[in-house]
């Protein structure tokens, strides 16, 4: 795992490591269960602007097929696969 400080860019000045970690903690608190991909801290007089991107969240697509909510058909038997293959697919 990379050092969190490697993900941070400070513009228009300098901050201590403690201050940077406080801003990282703030972003993490505002975005629970997410990881920071990049954080830019821009100093503007008495103000601080935070710009950040978060790492994408992986997800599994769930569809309704033949009356079942499924992510994949890996565990289906041959009969259920044939039912899905032979069904009439309606488009909008």
Residue 47 in domain: yes
Q: What is the residue range of 42's domain?
A: 4-54
State the pLDDT at residue 1. 41
47 and 65 fall within a common domain? no
Angstrom distance (rounded) from CA 40 to CA 21: 12
Q: What is the mean pLDDT of each run of 10 residues along the chain (92 residues)?
A: 82 94 95 94 94 90 73 82 79 70
Name the domain count of the chain.
2
State the pLDDT at residue 83. 82
**pLDDT tens-digit profile of 7-29?**
999 999 999 999 999 999 999 99
41 and 83 fall within a common domain? no
Angstrom distance (rounded) from CA 36 to CA 31: 9
47 and 18 fall within a common domain? yes
46 and 22 fall within a common domain? yes
| DSSP-assigned letters across all residues of 27-62 | HHHHSTT--EEEEEEEEETTEEEEEEEEPPPP----
50 and 12 fall within a common domain? yes
State the pLDDT at residue 30. 96
């Amino acid at each position: 795992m990379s050092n969190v400080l490697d993900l941070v860019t400070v513009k228009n000045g300098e901050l201590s490591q403690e201050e940077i970690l406080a801003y990282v903690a703030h972003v993490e608190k505002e975005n629970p269960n997410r990881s920071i991909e990049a954080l830019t801290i821009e100093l503007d007089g008495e103000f601080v602007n935070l710009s950040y991107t978060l790492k994408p969240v992986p997800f599994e697509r769930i569809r309704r097929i033949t009356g079942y909510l499924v992510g994949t058909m890996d565990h289906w038997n041959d009969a259920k696969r044939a039912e899905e293959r032979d069904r009439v697919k309606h488009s909008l």
